[in-house]
Structure 1
Amino acid sequence: MSARPELHVITEAETEIETPPAVALAVVVAPETGEAEPVALDRLLGADSPRLSGESREHTLALAEQLRLCPPILVNRRTMQVVDGVHRVHAARARGEATIDAVFVDVDPDEAFLLAVRANTTHGLPLSLADRRAAAVRILAGNPAMSDRAVARATGLAPNTVGAIRLRSTVQCAQSNTARTGSDGRARPESTVEARRRAGAILSERPDTPLRQVARETGLSLGTAHDVRERLRHGRDPVPDGQRVRRAPRRRDRVPREPVAWSAIRAQFVKDPVVRYADSGRAVVRWLDARATDREEWRDMVDDVPDYWVDAMIDVAASCAREWQQFARELGRRSNS
């Protein structure tokens, strides 16, 4: 199998540029890898071209005059379809040639189209803005896990334009909303919010977990895993403010839960790095240690209060209950915001 040509992509400004054929011819770049070999023109099938308008007759005639200076065309060995160089094929036929030099690749149709878009974005007759937008829609349909930046590099569009096309496209699927494959071939979550939350939970439960392991378990990069750990150490949320999404308000009439004793959750609470590494977190622990009681621990104290202090102690207990209720209400407001 011939090696696939490495097609270097040069992102163009996102405007439709009318390039004269002579200029377009001058910027044709030959593939850098793969051995060229002559192939009979009558063996070649039409290209699956990203050009919506089809062949440019003017460009074909310009190429026919200087065909010997042009690089080999690119052909998919599986189908014998022209991947890149359809105008050169038309020019060769116009000159009465029987063969043309070609470099072969062995790829599936989606990969072939992606190669065609990359090639036509970097050299030859420029693709129009409409061509590149249509190509982005098709690439997303065949490769929904590709990141916006990777599609942008292939099509010459801006990443935010690709993102807008993805949102409008009817080809969205669950896969495209969970992970994206970047230009380096690595799959990463589309949004790091949930992955950061998971990383925070891992580091809270297992503070000594190596960052590389955290990165593997969550799909985050090593640098992002490090950022999560540093944020926790400084008592900050593992997700930066700009990435957080306001939660939908919870119903205030939620079903009361079973009472939870402070002693039942204390060990897990104090292991949380947000609590452990922050002065404010440690202050909360000390405050709760001094004030929270275990369920029904008070029963042992009822008979120990002198009779003449009972009425006063009732007022104290009621006051404490009101303070705890107010504390719970304030926490509830945070939960609902």
Structure 2
Amino acid sequence: MVVEVEIGSLSTAGSPRTSGPDPEHVESLAVAQAPLPPITVHRPTMRVIDGLHRVRAAELRGQSKIAARFFDGDEADAFVLAVESNIAHGLPLTTADRKRAAERIIASHSRWSDRMIASVTGIAPGTVADLRRRLPGGPAGGVSRIGQDGRVRPLNGAEGRRIASELIASDPSLSLRQVARAASISPETVRDVRNRMMRGEDPMPAPRQGRQSGRHESAAARRRGFGTTAVACRASAQERAAVVERLKADPALRFSDSGRTLLRLLNVHTISTEDWEELIDNVPPHCGGIVARLAGDCAEMWTELAARLRRKVTETA
């Protein structure tokens, strides 16, 4: 919900943009005729999460109030949302700011995977791994990590499978979820381990072939110029579609109105990179600003949804 807030009540401390607002960008926003899109504010502290340049532009325009949306999560999640918002749109953060943000998120969300933190901060997963190794305590931080899809995975998958196979051998009556919790792997992986054991096979699968081709495909997408956007930074269209299809099979979502609404919304984002490019190319110039503003508003709502769900997963994991 968008509300009007007093600019004087806002705090601009703690921004991931350590150099502060860019004067030229502030002035360009101030002189534009279009209304400023709503900013995002952390309700408990009234700190600006996203929209520092818009706040300064509103002040230049002589406004005493500005449109805002509130975020009610904790401060750690508010910082994550600030970083993710600045990566998704507006004036990009510098590489140094992104790395500093990644270090802070590693400390506050230590159970997040390198890829998940990379997707938020806009740097490579390998860079996140390097930063994690250099921080006090090194790469430690539990036996599992939470991935971009919200699933908990062990740092050592082979070790999780080994533990699962021992548990199944010692007590075949244990449920998939009981074994999954004890071994810090997914119930699907436990099922695979159990089926392999029933067939007399090794619980460890043979090394997969063909994953490298997926990486080449992603690199090719980046070379086409689309990979630097927020859409392509996430999983490929095929991967997103596969995840959505699994969600469609979940009765908890299929048999509720809100669940079906969520599935329909998620299904929209399973279109391919080429389809996204075609959509962008075919937006008429006179509609570009309106569509961009609406897309930005939608992105902010999805970003808030993602941050709140991640916090929920972290609290219940």
For residues 139 and 125 of structure 2, the distance between their equivalents in structure 1, rounded to whole angstroms, comes to 19
Which one-letter code corresponds to 1:72 in the other structure?
A: P
What root-mean-square deviation, in Å, do the aligned CA atoms of Structure 1 and Structure 2 show? Answer: 2.4
- For 1:215-271, what per-residue CA distance to the aligned partner results, in whole angstroms no more than 9, with x for missing partners? 23322112211332244345444335769xxxxxxxxxxxxxxxxxxxxxxxxxxxx
What SS does structure 1 have at the residue aligned with 2:25? helix
Task: Verify the 8 A CA contact 2:29 2:57 in the aligned structure 1.
Answer: yes
Cα 1:171–1:41 change in 2 (3 A) is: farther
Task: Verify the 8 A CA contact 1:75 1:105 in the aligned structure 2.
Answer: yes
For residues 164 and 172 of structure 1, the distance between their equivalents in structure 2, rounded to whole angstroms, comes to 9
Structure 2 counterparts to residues 182-331 of structure 1, below 5 A = 182-207=147-172, 209-240=174-205
Shift of 1:52: 3.0
For residues 54 and 170 of structure 1, the distance between their equivalents in structure 2, rounded to whole angstroms, comes to 28
Task: Verify the 8 A CA contact 1:199 1:225 in the aligned structure 2.
Answer: yes
Q: Which residue of 2 aligns with 1:44?
A: 10
Cα 1:85–1:47 change in 2 (3 A) is: farther
Cα 1:95–1:194 change in 2 (3 A) is: same
Q: Is 1:161 aligned with 2:127? A: yes
Cα 1:210–1:122 change in 2 (3 A) is: same
Q: Which residue of 2 aligns with 1:149?
A: 115
Q: Is 1:55 aligned with 2:21? A: yes
For residues 171 and 47 of structure 2, the distance between their equivalents in structure 1, rounded to whole angstroms, comes to 55
Task: Verify the 8 A CA contact 2:41 2:69 in the aligned structure 1.
Answer: yes
Cα 1:142–1:212 change in 2 (3 A) is: closer
Shift of 1:43: 1.0
Q: Is 1:107 aligned with 2:73? A: yes
Cα 1:236–1:167 change in 2 (3 A) is: farther
Q: Which moved more, 1:104-113 or 1:230-239?
A: 230-239
- TM-score w.r.t. the length of structure 2 is 0.59
Shift of 1:213: 3.6
Task: Verify the 8 A CA contact 1:74 1:85 in the aligned structure 2.
Answer: yes
For residues 66 and 86 of structure 2, the distance between their equivalents in structure 1, rounded to whole angstroms, comes to 19
Q: Which residue of 2 aligns with 1:71?
A: 37
Which one-letter code corresponds to 2:21 in the other structure?
A: E
Q: Give the aligned length.
A: 208
Q: Which residue of 1 aligns with 2:86?
A: 120
For residues 8 and 124 of structure 2, the distance between their equivalents in structure 1, rounded to whole angstroms, comes to 39
Shift of 1:162: 1.7
Structure 1, unaligned stretches of length 5 or more? 1-34, 244-337
- For 1:18-52, what per-residue CA distance to the aligned partner results, in whole angstroms no more than 9, with x for missing partners? xxxxxxxxxxxxxxxxx111111111111421123
What SS does structure 2 have at the residue aligned with 1:69? coil
Q: Which moved more, 1:183-192 or 1:74-83?
A: 183-192
Q: Which residue of 2 aligns with 1:84?
A: 50
Which one-letter code corresponds to 2:22 in the other structure?
A: S
- For 1:272-327, what per-residue CA distance to the aligned partner results, in whole angstroms no more than 9, with x for missing partners? xxxxxxxxxxxxxxxxxxxxxxxxxxxxxxxxxxxxxxxxxxxxxxxxxxxxxxxx
Task: Verify the 8 A CA contact 1:141 1:172 in the aligned structure 2.
Answer: no
For residues 92 and 123 of structure 1, the distance between their equivalents in structure 2, rounded to whole angstroms, comes to 19
Shift of 1:157: 2.1
- TM-score w.r.t. the length of structure 1 is 0.56
Cα 1:87–1:67 change in 2 (3 A) is: farther
Structure 2, unaligned stretches of length 5 or more? 209-317
For residues 107 and 171 of structure 1, the distance between their equivalents in structure 2, rounded to whole angstroms, comes to 27
Judging by fraction of residues, say which structure has more helix: 2
For residues 82 and 170 of structure 1, the distance between their equivalents in structure 2, rounded to whole angstroms, comes to 29
